[in-house]
Every structure is written in structure tokens, then in C-alpha cells.
Structure 1
């Protein structure tokens, strides 16, 4: 039974992008059955973050002490590049206030767990990716609302204190509970850990389908510009993430990790916050971004996985010269 569940979980995770596209399309065409999920999105996200906490332990933060510069750059780039990219793209395309605020909120969210998977596939520095994800998630309750206030405060009314409290409840407490459970009952966690990502994927799909259903009528009028905005923000994030990390002397392996940390966001958090505190339309960039970032991330990870790291190229050249 356990083996079957693990195989099923692997299948669910492997084709996540496909399931998201199918479910979102169905929700767009027939929104009624999906709308009831709306009030429960924050709870679903809490379960997702609990699952993230179960995969973490205190050792995931050890690079803060052993490689503080790498972690500092990763977290700084995360909270600098994407919010500004979202703000810039929104201004460039002249998006309505709700969508513009949604772009900034998506950019100000911490990186998503998908960044760790893409880094692993791309032969990047997975340890650095996990640490940066962990640190910027812990910092999210403070940084996300205040960055959002700074860039989007003039676009849409914001109660930053309520936003902060919600992030603590949705992110910090569940993640901390997951880490504590991992430390207190490692054997139990070990038995279920292969199934946890699939549960998160199912909940993410449920959340995104609900957002599409709640905004189906509005999506039809803004679909083109919305998709263009999200794609531009994501491509900017991936590109600037890679070259910013290279500019501060990071190796190719580290740069690949930082690229995904910046280009892949916790879109579920952005969706939950937008629905709870902003116009429902502000949740649309995160809903579209959740689909697109897995497409772009998968393509980039596959491309890098088939190309040797720059350090490996240099070694290969040296071997040829010696021979």
C-alpha cells in the first residue's frame, strides 16, 4: 500500500504542470463547482507550508553560518529583483491597479519549494537553494508586507499589519510546526515524507482552480495582457537572477540555484493574501504565475541538466591540454 501511494505521489508531482493546466481550464469553462474553495484557501496553504516544514530541519540553516555571503546575496536578490520587476512590468503595460498590485505581491512573496527541485534537476547548488528558500520564507512575514506597501501602497488600500499577521499564521507557524515535528518524530516523518509533496501539489491545484473560477469572467477580458505581464516578470527574474549572482562572483553551480530562487515564487501565498486583503483580481497574476513558472523552470532546468557547468568545461579543457 505504501509503495503504491509513493508511486502515485511521484506521478502527481511529475506531471504537476499538466494537472494545473487541465484543472484551471475546467474551472474557467465551468467555474461553479470550484468557487466554494475560496474561503478555505488560507487553510489549504497552511497545510502546504506545514508540508514544507516537514521537509526542513535546523541543518538547512547551517549555510547561514558557513556561507553567509552566498545566503545573503540569494535572499537580497530574491526580495529586490522580483518586486521591482513586477512593479516595472505593471507600469510598462499600464495594468489596472488590482492587477498591478497583484504583480507586486507575487514578486514580494518568498521563493517556492519548486525552486529546490528545479535546482536539483539543473545540477545547481541544491544545499544553497534549500537554505535560501528556508531563510527567505522565515523572513517573509516582515519583508513581504513592507515591500508590498512600499511599491503598491499608492495603487490599492493596504493594512500592512493585518497582512503581516496573516503571513505569520499562514507561513511561519505551519513551517515552524513542521520543523518541530520533523525533529521530534523523525521516524514518523520519514515514513510519510515521499507522499507530502503530492498532497501539496493537490492543494496547490485546488487553490489555483478556485482562483480561476472566482475570476473567470474578468480573466476573459485581461487574459492576453495578464499572461504577457507574468511571462515578462518571470523571464526578467530568471535572467537578472543568474547574471546578478554571476556579477558577485558566484560559480555556475551557485548561480543556477539563485536563478530558480528568484524566478520561482510562492504563488499560493500571493493568491491567499490577495483574496483575503485585496481585490480578487489581484490574485490572477499569482494564479497564472504558478503555471508559467513551472513551464519556464522545467525548460531551463532541462536545458542546464544537459550542459556541463562552466567549471566542468574548464576541467575538460585542462585534461585535453595535458593529454
Structure 2
């Protein structure tokens, strides 16, 4: 859909907004829901065509899907008897696989070249946010499951969106990518530990169960993404040969099918905690799909080499908005009662993360570009991971509400902060 066509959606937006207001004021509120859905959807489409507003399109799509799930919760509960909640973990695994394809071994090797900034970011990431989240949860007086969700979002590693915001803000992109990668890899230990110590007072936390779920849902897909990165961008001549790509693609797809059909359900177990096999299935299948896609697009059609960079953001955004809609549909009534308080809590947690992340990095004598990077890494969390853990480990839709609200908000605030910093160039520019 061309940008010229998308710009016409501002007319649809104006008409739909007027219809939503009129139907609400006249008492025909059954029609307000559809009108609001069209309002947000048309606004999102228009923003996608605007050079300045396009960074807000994702958040507006979230509002559209949240409105749809609030107005028609049954539509996001199940389809033809299939529980849509089952899709949450596979969608997160696909998103994490996409994150992995943006990483390389060199990103982890940078720790040796910039140990102090990485250490400062790591300490601030896993201290400021979880402790602040606990204080906010208690101050707002949330019920136990909702409070546990607030602490959960604070205990998760940095989100991949921080890398983009760092770039836009003139921060140290290499440092941002390294910090995100390192905090994510250590999250199977740190997130369950923090949850057990801080959120254990609200609900029961099983350390090993949460650790295994993070490995299955986050780590395995990221490792698979690292392998896919080598297939996509590796300089070895063999990776440009159609026969090699076909063999790798078909082999990985068959491996994924074999694991699904014949491997035991659990890869490893410890008491009641089980490391499931589905992460390995998704990882193998996606590596195969990437290899075959490169064969078709890169070798046969001689297409652009950066096709994955264009496709993955769309897939990731679609997955996130669907996850949020599924979670919202399961907690629509709870959201009506605590929604405004949760929005306030999310805004406060995010703001404190930015402020303390930046100024404590300054106190640690990091340069300006590194301070901006640390601010984004501390203030922006992996909301998808928190949502998956809330639904799959805590088994609580109310606990997933805080991550569902925090995720869209941090994209809005991050875009605003990045735009503001972009106008004030850092004295020390980002390094490779």
C-alpha cells in the first residue's frame, strides 16, 4: 500500500473519531467500539505514511487491538475451539529469534573492550528497575497478582527496542546491543532470582520453573537466531551456494519435524520444573525457513540482501500486538478497574528508569553517548518476555497486564526522548 494512499486515512480517522464521540454521547455505545477500532486503525495507517509520526504507528496499532479485544474479548479467546493463549509462547519465540538474527558473536566480544560501561549498565538494569517496581507496586496497593506483574516487568532484561532508540538518540549503539545481549543471556538466573526475592511476598515463585521457561522461550530462539545471522550475513562462499542453502534449509526443517514427532516432551527436568522442547522445534524450523528464503530471494531471484531486516520488524510488531490483545481479552474486567493505575505505574517506572539510569551512569563517569545508552537500557524492558512468563509460569492474566501496558508506553516515551536527544548531539559519538 503506497504512502499516498495511506495519507487518505486521515479522512477516515476524522470521520471515525466523530462517529465514536457521537455514538458515545448519544448512548449508542454498542457502536462506539467499532468506531474506536476504525479510529485507531486509520490513524495508525496514516502515521505509517508520515515521516515524523511513523515511529508512533506501532503504539497506535496496540491501541487498536486493545480496543478490539475489550469490545470483542471472545474473538481473542479462541478460534474454532483452539485456545489463542497457546500462541503467546511461539510468538515470543519468533520475536526472540528475530532479535538473535540482529546479533553476532562480536556483540558479546565487545564486553572485553568496554567492560566498565557494560558492568555499570548490568548493575543498574537489575537493581533500579526491580526495586523501583516493588516500591511502586506497594505504593499503588495493587492486588498480589497485579503487583507481581509490575515486579516482573522490572525484573526482565532490556528490550531490543532500546537499540533503535539509542541509535536515534546518538548513543553508543554497539554498547546498547552488547548490553541487551548480555542482560538477556543472564536473565535465566537474574529474573527468577529477583522475582523470588521481591515478588515472592505476593505469589509463589518457582525459581527452576521460571529459569527453564526463559531458556525455552528466550535463550534457545536467540541462539537459533545467531545461527541464522551467520547463514544470512556470513562471508563464507559456501553460504552463497544454492545447494548448501537447500541442504541446510531442508535439513533443519526435517530436524524440527523429527523433534516435534519423536523427541520426548521434556529436554530436561528438575523436580516439577521442565525444559520443554518447543523452543528447539521453533528454532530449527526458523533456521530452515531462513536458509530456504535466502536460497529463493538471494540466489534464485537475486533480491536484496537485507530482506530479513525489513521483514522481521513487521513480524515482531504483529506478534506483539496480538499477544497484548490475547492478554487483554482475558483480563478485560480487571483492566477496567486498575487500568489507569497501571498506566500511572508504567509511566513512573519507565521515567525513573531513564532518569536514574542516565544520572547514575554519569556518576560512574561514562561519556555522554554511553549515559544515553544506559538510560534506554535501564528504562526499556523486554515486555514480551514478561508477558510470556506471566501467562506461562505464573499462570496469571492479571500479572500480564503490567507488561502489556508498559511495552507500548516505553515505545512512546523512548521515541520522545530519542527525538529530544537527537537535537542535542552527544560530545562522544557511538563507536563500532
Q: How does 1:286-297 map to 2 (within 5 A)?
A: 286-297=403-414
Q: Which deviations, in whole Å up to 9, do the C-alpha atoms of 1:219-250 show, x marking residues without a partner?
A: 11111211111111111111111111111001
What CA distance in whole angstroms lies between the structure 2 residues aligned with 1:168 and 1:20?
27
Shift of 1:309: 2.3
Find the counterpart in structure 2 of residue 319 from structure 1. none
Q: CA deviation at 1:311?
A: 5.7
Residue aligning to 2:9:
none
Report the Cα distance in structure 1 between the residues aligned to 2:423 and 2:215, rounded to whole angstroms. 40
1:300 correspondence with 2:417: yes
Which of 204, 221, 224 lines up with 2:340 in the alignment?
A: 224
Which residue, 391, 394, 416 being the options, matches 1:275?
Answer: 391
CA distance in 1, matches of 2:326, 2:152: 19
Distance 1:311 1:66 in 2: 17
Match of residue 38 from structure 1: 85
Q: SS in structure 2 opposite 1:158?
A: coil
- The alpha carbon displacement at 1:11 in A equals 4.6
Deviation of residue 160 (structure 1)?
Answer: 1.3
**Residue number in structure 1 paired with 2:120:** 73
Equivalent runs, 1:52-63 vs 2, <5 Å: 52-63=99-110
Q: Tell me how far 1:98 sits from its aligned partner.
A: 0.8
Larger Rg: 2
- Pairing 1:248-259 to 2, within 5 Å after superposition: 248-259=364-375
Q: Does the CA contact (< 8 Å) of 1:63 and 1:71 recur in 2?
A: no
- Contact 1:100–1:155, Cα closer than 8 Å, also in 2: yes
Corresponding residue of 1:197: 313
CA distance in 1 between partners of 2:231 and 2:402 (Å): 38
Alignment CA distance shift 1:156-1:57 (3 Å): same
Q: Deviations over 1:233-278 (max 9, x none)?
A: 1111111111111110011111111111011111011011101122
Q: Cα RMSD between the aligned structures?
A: 1.9
- C-alpha contact 1:20 1:291 (8 A) present in aligned 2: yes
The answer for unaligned runs of 5 or more in structure 1 is 1-7, 313-323
Whole-Å separation in 2 of the counterparts to 1:111 and 1:32: 33
Q: 1:192 and 1:296 mapped to 2: Cα distance?
A: 27
CA contact (8 A) 1:115 1:264 kept: yes
Query: What residue is the counterpart of 1:104 in the other structure?
Result: 151
* 1:193 aligned counterpart, secondary structure: helix
**What is the CA–CA distance in structure 1 between the aligned matches of 2:346 and 2:228, rounded to whole Å?**
36
Quote the Cα distance in structure 2 between the aligned partners of 1:177 and 1:91. 39
Q: Distance in 1 between matches of 2:357 and 2:187?
A: 19
Higher helix share: 1
Paired with 2:65 and 2:311, the residues of 1 have a C-alpha distance of: 21
- Higher RCO structure (Cα 8 Å, ≥6 apart): 1
Taking structure 2 as the reference length, what is the TM-score of the superposition?
0.68
